[in-house]
Amino acid sequence: MPDRSLSESLFARAKRHIPGGVNSPVRAFRNVDGDPFFINHAKGCRIRDVDGNEMIDYVGTWGPAILGHAPAPVVEAVREAALEGLSFGTPNPLEVEMADLICEWVPSVEKVRMVNSGTEATMSALRLARGFTSRDRVIKFEGCYHGHVDSMLVAAGSGALTHGKPDSAGVPKAFADTTICLPFNDQEAVEKVFTEEGEKIAAIILEPIPANAGLIFPQQGFLQFLRDITKKYGALLIFDEVMTGFRVAKGGVQEHVGITPDLTALGKVIGGGLPVGAFGGRADIMDQLAPDGPVYQAGTLSGNPLAMAAGLAQLRELERTDAWNKLEQLGTVFEAGVHETLAKTGKNYTFNRIGSMFCLFFTDKEIKNLDDAKTADFEAFKKYFSSCLENGVYFAPSQFETGFISTAHSEADIAKTAEVATKALAGL
């Protein structure tokens, strides 16, 4: 068992002045009945905690570390930007470069605005959709997470037309009433809502490949159906690609599947590890934003030069090295290792992967929606997580999270991970 005494001491101190001892709930490790460790160094695909324990990392700061931790081009870009100033409160040239690059790479984006987080991106996209359509209702799907936006923190009620109920204290019911929450991959439920309330619906928002309930794939034709029905009723289609943008493909899921949404939310990879988000889409919609239009959105640190420098360096390095091809190759090796491990240990668990994103569900059920994901054996996952962590492999501390491979992982790292995973699964 690794010594984590310094982490334990830091966590005790943190709980005195930070709610729950953490600044984001999943870091508390309560899903795995444990306490968090504290990291003070990360390089490549490895992280090291304050007690000196080193781990192969498949969390990748929850997605941004697509080149691994502290890649040299990103670190150097941030250093050079910092020497010129940390923040200006005025436009800076890097904002323009980032906007040009996003509009060039992402099929749906004609204009884009930078923000500071994925939550801010989805919140602003939803406000813009409501302002553009002069409608209030929004459809979301169970298992799709769109940040801690009040109207998005809802759980589904019974029946396709049941409005969401607040899923967090402090969210007024009136806010939740504007959101209709439906099962993912359920065309019939979507069609029923539009038939009865289509003229009230401003938008459908979804992760085109949900990555906050494990990793769930849209069934054949589902995304095209959403594109068609929103056009039919004059609603907007919003892709939340905060997780998948620039990771599953250069242009995100929309490039991969050939479907063009009206608005897109982005984040993670475009910040290179610094706080960042963006939302963009059709020019006629984006032109409704202040100062040109009536939909207000602002941010003191939006387009921060350090974040822009980091993001641009990372995106250019991805392109220069043909990283998506390498990530697919690594993902293929990783997937083969998972299936070999499952066969060795006699487990019939479900494994989903696209590119460098993956999830092992501790169930033999095909995962089509959140209810399927909930059939997983959470006690088995907890034991598996703890065993892997004790043996130097760090996966996300929740069955409902996606894992990430980076270009810094090697086939040797993946082989080591397979050994550790085999031992963990055999011990269940």
Secondary structure E strands in 300-395: 350-354, 357-361, 393-394
One domain for residues 391 and 331:
yes
d(CA 290, CA 285): 12
Tell me which of 1 and 195 has the higher pLDDT. 195
Q: Angle 158-164-169 (CA atoms, 0-180°, nearest 5)?
A: 125
Q: One of 57, 240, 262, 413 is an active-site residue; which one?
A: 240
Closest residue by Cα to residue 277 from 240, 314, 322: 240
Residues of the domain holding 310:
72-319
Contacts of 261 (CB under 8 A, 6+ apart): 108, 208, 227, 236, 237, 238, 239, 254, 281
One domain for residues 181 and 95:
yes
One domain for residues 274 and 314:
yes
State the residue for tokens 């504007």. Answer: 178
Mean of per-residue pLDDT scores for the chain? 94
Give residue 158's pLDDT band: very low, low, confident or very high (50, 70, 90): very low
Please provide the distance, in angstroms rounded to a whole number, between the alpha carbons at the two ends of the chain. Answer: 18
Q: How confident is the model at residue 216, as a pLDDT? A: 97
Give residue 168's pLDDT band: very low, low, confident or very high (50, 70, 90): confident
Q: Angle 157-158-164 (CA atoms, 0-180°, nearest 5)?
A: 20
Rounded mean pLDDT, 223-227: 98
Is residue 259 pLDDT above 60, yes or no? yes
Do 66 and 406 touch, CB atoms closer than 8 A?
A: yes
pLDDT more than 70, % of the chain: 97
d(CA 228, CA 220): 14
One domain for residues 113 and 194:
yes
Is residue 155 pLDDT above 70, yes or no? no
pLDDT more than 90, % of the chain: 91
Is residue 142 pLDDT above 60, yes or no? yes
CATH number reported for the structural domain that contains residue 61 in this entry: 3.90.1150.10
Q: Angle 366-367-368 (CA atoms, 0-180°, nearest 5)?
A: 110
Interval 16-43: pLDDT, tens: 999 999 999 889 999 899 999 999 999 9
One domain for residues 235 and 331:
no
One domain for residues 95 and 49:
no
One domain for residues 392 and 408:
yes
One domain for residues 331 and 369:
yes
CATH number reported for the structural domain that contains residue 163 in this entry: 3.40.640.10
Q: One of 145, 233, 384, 394 is an active-site residue; which one?
A: 145
Give residue 148's pLDDT band: very low, low, confident or very high (50, 70, 90): confident
Is residue 156 pLDDT above 70, yes or no? no
- DSSP tag of 218: P
Rounded mean pLDDT, 224-235: 98
Do 222 and 211 touch, CB atoms closer than 8 A?
A: no
Burial string for 150-166 (b: 16+ CB within 10 Å, else e) reads: bbbbbebeeebeeebeb
d(CA 98, CA 293): 22
Give residue 157's pLDDT band: very low, low, confident or very high (50, 70, 90): very low
Overall number of domains in the chain = 2
One domain for residues 137 and 11:
no
Give residue 173's pLDDT band: very low, low, confident or very high (50, 70, 90): confident
Q: One of 268, 382, 384, 413 is an active-site residue; which one?
A: 268
Give residue 163's pLDDT band: very low, low, confident or very high (50, 70, 90): very low
Q: Angle 20-24-26 (CA atoms, 0-180°, nearest 5)?
A: 85
Q: How confident is the model at residue 167, as a pLDDT? A: 63
Is 192 marked active-site?
Answer: no
Is 268 marked active-site?
Answer: yes
Q: How confident is the model at residue 153, as a pLDDT? A: 76
Supply φ then ψ for residue 210, to 5 degrees.
-55, 130
Q: Dig out the tokens for 289 from the structure.
A: 């934003």
One domain for residues 412 and 399:
yes
One domain for residues 206 and 255:
yes
Choosing from 296, 319, 342, the residue where a domain stops is 319
Is 382 marked active-site?
Answer: no
d(CA 183, CA 189): 8
Interval 354-367: pLDDT, tens: 999 999 999 999 99
Give residue 275's pLDDT band: very low, low, confident or very high (50, 70, 90): very high
Choosing from 295, 319, 343, the residue where a domain stops is 319
One domain for residues 337 and 245:
no
Choosing from 319, 340, 371, the residue where a domain stops is 319
Rounded mean pLDDT, 378-383: 97
Interval 201-211: pLDDT, tens: 999 999 999 99
Give residue 319's pLDDT band: very low, low, confident or very high (50, 70, 90): very high
